[in-house]
Amino acid sequence: MKKFVPDLICQSVFTIDLDKLKERQISGLLVDIDNTLVPWGEPEMEEAFVAWVRQAQHRGFKICLVSNAKQNRAQSFAALLGIPAVGMALKPLGRAFRKGMVLLGLEPQQVAVIGDQLFTDVFGGNRLGLYTVLINPLSKNELESTKLMRRIEHWILEKMVRRGEISRKHVQIRQGRGSDE
Ligand SMILES: [Mg+2]
């Protein structure tokens, strides 16, 4: 159960406090694509997300995309942003996260995983001892299998609140009812 607890829950990438990550000596970000930087399955990344990546880079973060999407989808966004990507990641398996760390030349304690799913991004990152940031999915469009996982996700998050592992406020952020700004 502990392996599902994110270190941080934010509304979106825009509300992640990058200074706070820096204070933790984190200098690399392994970022999910679908429903984190781009609405699920959309071919284009909105300018605001491109700008967020640029801004994070400007502040000294190295970034690698780690996505379960097909290689060509991951690579098209990597090319747009000029950063590396690992596609067909099979998250939560550790292989792609490890590959991402090698591409960035960083150690686990220097890396944060950012993504919208508890079972792939957070669980996968926590298993490797990485700092994990859960954000809200950008759209409600996703695979049927993911929709099912969302219901289990919700149940697990409620359980975490009862155990005091995350605050009620965080779940409200997750449900779009709270604010972390
Ligand atoms: Mg995702």
Q: Which residues surround ligand 1, an ion (CB under 5 A)?
A: 32, 34-35, 116
Q: Ligand 1 centroid to 66 CA: how many Å?
A: 10
Q: Ligand 1 centroid to 138 CA: how many Å?
A: 9
**Inter-CA distances, 121 with 60, 72, 79, 86, 162, Å:** 23, 20, 22, 13, 22
Q: Ligand 1 centroid to 115 CA: how many Å?
A: 6
* Percent of the chain surpassing pLDDT 70: 97
pLDDT digits (tens, 9 = 90+) for 20-46: 999 999 999 999 999 999 999 999 999
Q: Ligand 1 centroid to 83 CA: how many Å?
A: 18
Name the class of domain 2-174: alpha beta
Q: Please report the pLDDT score of residue 142 as a whole number.
A: 87
pLDDT surpassing 60 at residue 122? yes
CA–CA distance, 35 with 117 (Å, rounded to integer): 9
Q: Please report the pLDDT score of residue 181 as a whole number.
A: 55
| 3 state SS of 2 | helix
Q: Ligand 1 centroid to 116 CA: how many Å?
A: 5
Q: Ligand 1 centroid to 51 CA: how many Å?
A: 19
Domain boundaries defined on the chain: 2-174
Residue 39: phi, psi to the nearest 5?
A: -55, 145
Q: Which residues in 68-86 are b (16+ Cβ under 10 Å) and which e?
A: bbeeebbbbbbeebebbbb
pLDDT digits (tens, 9 = 90+) for 144-165: 888 888 999 999 999 999 999 9
Q: pTM value?
A: 0.94
Q: Ligand 1 centroid to 96 CA: how many Å?
A: 14
Q: Ligand 1 centroid to 114 CA: how many Å?
A: 9
pLDDT digits (tens, 9 = 90+) for 59-100: 999 999 999 999 999 999 999 999 999 999 999 999 999 999
CA–CA distance, 67 with 37 (Å, rounded to integer): 11
pLDDT digits (tens, 9 = 90+) for 11-21: 999 999 999 99
Residue 62 exposure: Cα atoms within 13 Å on the Cβ side: 16
